[in-house]
Amino acid sequence: MAVERTLSIIKPDAVANKFIGEIYSRFAANDLRIVAARMVHLNKEQAEKFYAIHKNRPFFAMLIEYMISDPVMVTVLEGEDAIAKYRTLMGATMPEFAAPGSIRYDLARDGRANENAVHGSDASETAAEEIKFFFKSEEIFDLKR
């Protein structure tokens, strides 16, 4: 297994519900180091660009409205097998299908149907693109210990 980096977004519902600390604790408990982080309130243009791949999907307008409704916390995670590990931690896209103990099961199941608390990159190419979308290389840190 290789050390990877992945992009996490703590979405507006989870930020508003004060779950940033809870989610960050799960990163630490799973050996995912935070190497960059920022709170940002996306505008429509940014959200549409980030989710451009979904622009023809029926849920696109609802997704954009949700993602710009409040600030989000963008974080770069680093660790062994970070991409797959974080996706397991998140659980299935739709909280009602997420495994018990996953972030979406624990923190998004009782919310609105389309609001699922977190985003995580799905592969190494998308992780690299998504990290670059939010962070310059000098904003990502190499932790020494």
Catalytic site positions: 119
Q: Which chain residues interact with ligand AMP by CB under 6 A?
A: 54, 59, 63, 93, 114, 116, 119
Please check whether residue 67 is in contact with residue 11, taking contact to mean a CB–CB distance below 8 angstroms: yes
> Which residue in 49, 35, 19, 22 sits closest to 115, CA to CA?
19
Q: What's the closest the beta carbon of residue 112 comes to ligand AMP, in angstroms?
A: 10
Residue 18 CB, nearest approach to ligand AMP (Å): 20
Q: Is 47 helix (H, G, I), strand (E, B) or coil?
A: helix
- Nearest to 64, CA basis, from 46, 81, 77, 80: 46
Nearer to ligand AMP, 43 or 93 (CB): 93
Measured from the CB of residue 141, what is the shortest distance to ligand AMP in angstroms?
26
Identity of the residue, 35 or 64, whose beta carbon is nearer to ligand AMP in the bound complex: 64
